[in-house]
Amino acid sequence: MQERGLWATHLGPHLGGPGYGQVKLALLNEILGRSHSAPIVFGCQAPDSGNAEILAHYGTEQLKKQYLEPLLRNEIVSAFSMTEPRGGSDPTGFVGRAELDGDEWVVNGEKWFSSHARYASFLILLAVTEPDADRHTRMSMFVVPADTPGIEIVRNVGVYGHDPDEGTHAYIRYHDVRIPADHILGARGEGFAVAQTRLGGGRIHHAMRTVGLVKQALGMMCERALSRVTQGETLARKQLVQAMIADSWVQLEQFRLLVLQTAWKIDRYDDYQKVRVDISAVKAAMPKVLHDVAARALQVHGSLGVSHEMPFGSMVLESFHMGLADGATEVHQMQVARQVLKQYRPTEDLFPTGHLPRRKAEAEARFADVLAQVEADRLIGASPGSPPGGGS
Ligand SMILES: Cc1cc2nc3c(=O)[nH]c(=O)nc-3n(C[C@H](O)[C@H](O)[C@H](O)COP(=O)(O)OP(=O)(O)OC[C@H]3O[C@@H](n4cnc5c(N)ncnc54)[C@H](O)[C@@H]3O)c2cc1C
């Protein structure tokens, strides 16, 4: 892949990627999305891709040399340790601490669902460093070498459908874990802003690949509908199946255009902050599109569809992963709604501005002259022998 210029395509040339930009990347990721292992083969798998972006933005030269370079060469893997067992949707409630003691940070706390921690050489950790600051500036981001004493993996949690003994989402306890003072990423209290660097890119890249997965499910549904015969005709001729295909195509096209438009905006503004809401919208839409299309494809395949011999069960489950990883759908919906609501104002009247009697009264007041003229014309037109009222 490196020889072909297709390695780590999410990165710019200064980091060893080709710097295609997000629109081209979206089109490439649509192809990669068909295969679960493609991101690893192409060097753009989560959580490493996002962690690389953080290190590239906020790491010192030494940290980049030590962690980013081998990560980009895929010699090591990494983990992202942010969610706590008490709840991930509200990071302002996290309690895991990092306290400066001489030239070291001392970390204590628990983290939950730190994917791939069992294989990772380092973890990117979010911890409270400024307990008295306001809710959004209490935390900082760190690089934690995975072999630092005091890191206990309580258990590796698996997800439904996978072998429970092969869980990859670690429940971790940090007991007096000492890391060098320079392993902080960004300034103290800047943890949320640093996290956004990582999550913005990760979310949109995931959505691009989901377009490919949904396309694959739709393709399989259509092939089956055209091939399976019942009551003397193919499933494709049944109007209820046609409705499933049409609804799936519409959902896919709407989602794909939203993803491409967001990718275009990222290229245009070169600032994730400016497209935060677009990315939240994509993230909120993604699980439903995959769920709906995969579930219809499953249904059209009948008993074969629910079997282990087809991938639809895992696609449907994957849609639930997507509705949680990198933030629950509802949280992203709230972000979008907040932004949309900023564009509107409340009315102080009892009835809304769109109330038809009110609009009629406003129109009558505004066009009183014209209406008076029309009425005058009508009266003239009504008299015998006059032409019908002219003008407007
Ligand atoms: C496959 C997978 C991989 C993951 N990998 C990582 C990782 O590598 N590192 C990491 O740190 N975390 C990871 N996570 C955790 C993920 O970030 C959290 O699951 C997510 O932030 C939600 O937190 P929670 O699971 O504690 O759910 P909770 O916060 O307990 O929320 C539960 C549910 O409550 C509802 N809810 C929550 N808030 C609101 C709201 N404001 N309004 C309305 N409803 C709401 C939603 O339905 C939500 O699903 C991963 C999760 C999954 C599924």
Tell me, what CATH number does 120's domain have?
A: 2.40.110.10
Q: Kindly state whether residues 224 and 269 are assigned to the same domain.
A: yes
Q: Kindly state whether residues 196 and 337 are assigned to the same domain.
A: yes
Q: 280 with 294: CB under 8 angstroms?
A: no
Percentage of the chain exceeding pLDDT 90 = 81
Residue 307: strand, helix, or coil: coil
Total domain count, the chain: 3
Q: Which of 33, 49, 72 is the last residue of a domain?
A: 72
pLDDT in tens, 141-200: 999 999 999 999 999 999 998 888 889 999 999 999 999 999 999 999 999 999 987 787
Q: Kindly state whether residues 203 and 331 are assigned to the same domain.
A: yes
pLDDT in tens, 244-264: 999 999 999 999 999 999 999
Q: Does a structural domain hold residue 312?
A: yes
Picking from 159, 208, 199, 200, the residue whose alpha carbon sits closest to that of residue 42 is 208
Alpha-carbon distance of 95 to 188, in angstroms, equals 16
Query: Which pLDDT value is given to residue 390?
Result: 47
pLDDT in tens, 302-318: 999 999 999 999 999 99
Residue 197: strand, helix, or coil: helix
Q: Which of 141, 172, 189 is the last residue of a domain?
A: 189
Alpha-carbon distance of 201 to 343, in angstroms, equals 26
Residue 222, both tokens: 């259509």
Q: Kindly state whether residues 318 and 335 are assigned to the same domain.
A: yes
Query: Which pLDDT value is given to residue 387?
Result: 52
Q: Does a structural domain hold residue 7?
A: no
Q: Does a structural domain hold residue 32?
A: yes
- CATH code of the domain in which 61 resides: 1.10.540.10
Alpha-carbon distance of 172 to 176, in angstroms, equals 13
- CATH code of the domain in which 279 resides: 1.20.140.10
End-to-end CA distance of the chain: 69
Best residue for ligand 1 mutational test, from 113, 159, 206, 336 (most atoms within 8 Å of Cβ): 113
Report whether pLDDT(116) > 90. Answer: yes
Q: How many residues does the chain have?
A: 392
Candidate from 215-219, 267-271, 359-363 with smallest mean pLDDT: 267-271
Q: Does a structural domain hold residue 390?
A: no
Phi, psi of 224 (to 5 degrees): -65, -40
Q: Tokens 């109007």 correspond to what residue?
A: 239
Q: Kindly state whether residues 20 and 42 are assigned to the same domain.
A: yes
Q: Which of 72, 88, 104 is the last residue of a domain?
A: 72
Q: Does a structural domain hold residue 299?
A: yes
Report whether pLDDT(272) > 60. Answer: yes
DSSP state of 188: T
Sign of CA pseudo-dihedral 58, 36, 165, 322: positive
CB neighbours of 81 closer than 8 A, spacing ≥ 6?
A: 111, 114, 117, 123, 124, 125, 126, 144, 172
Q: Does a structural domain hold residue 380?
A: no
Residue 288: strand, helix, or coil: helix
Give the DSSP H or E segment for 254. Answer: helix 239-269
Span from the CA of 318 to the centroid of ligand 1 (angstroms) = 14
Query: Which pLDDT value is given to residue 306?
Result: 98
Alpha-carbon distance of 67 to 282, in angstroms, equals 31
Q: Tokens 């003994």 correspond to what residue?
A: 165
Range of the domain at 221: 192-341
**Cα-to-chain-centroid distance, residue 306:** 27
Q: Kindly state whether residues 214 and 287 are assigned to the same domain.
A: yes
Span from the CA of 327 to the centroid of ligand 1 (angstroms) = 5
Query: Which pLDDT value is given to residue 391?
Result: 46
Q: Kindly state whether residues 158 and 208 are assigned to the same domain.
A: no
Q: Does a structural domain hold residue 366?
A: no
- Measured N-to-C along each axis, helices 276-300 and 239-269 cross at an angle, to the nearest 10 degrees, of 160
Q: Kindly state whether residues 221 and 243 are assigned to the same domain.
A: yes
For the chain, what is the mean pLDDT? 93
Cβ atoms within 10 A of the Cβ of 367, count?
12
pLDDT in tens, 54-107: 998 899 999 999 999 999 888 999 999 999 999 899 999 999 999 999 999 999
Q: Is ligand 1 within 6 A of the CB of residue 321? A: yes
Query: Which pLDDT value is given to residue 386?
Result: 53
Q: Kindly state whether residues 92 and 120 are assigned to the same domain.
A: yes
Q: Kindly state whether residues 212 and 138 are assigned to the same domain.
A: no
Task: Give the side-chain half-sphere CA count within 13 A for 283.
Answer: 28
- Give Cα separations from 375 to 20, 68, 264 (angstroms): 65, 78, 53
Q: Kindly state whether residues 50 and 182 are assigned to the same domain.
A: no
Q: Does a structural domain hold residue 239?
A: yes
Span from the CA of 330 to the centroid of ligand 1 (angstroms) = 10
Ligand 1, atom 4, residue with closest C-alpha: 325
The three-state DSSP-derived secondary structure of 65-115 is HHHHHHHHCCCCCEEEECCECCECCCHHHCCCEEEEECCEEEEEEEEEEEE
Q: Kindly state whether residues 302 and 328 are assigned to the same domain.
A: yes
Span from the CA of 191 to the centroid of ligand 1 (angstroms) = 18
Point out the ligand 1 atom lying closest to the alpha carbon of residue 159: 1
Picking from 289, 277, 278, 276, the residue whose alpha carbon sits closest to that of residue 323 is 289
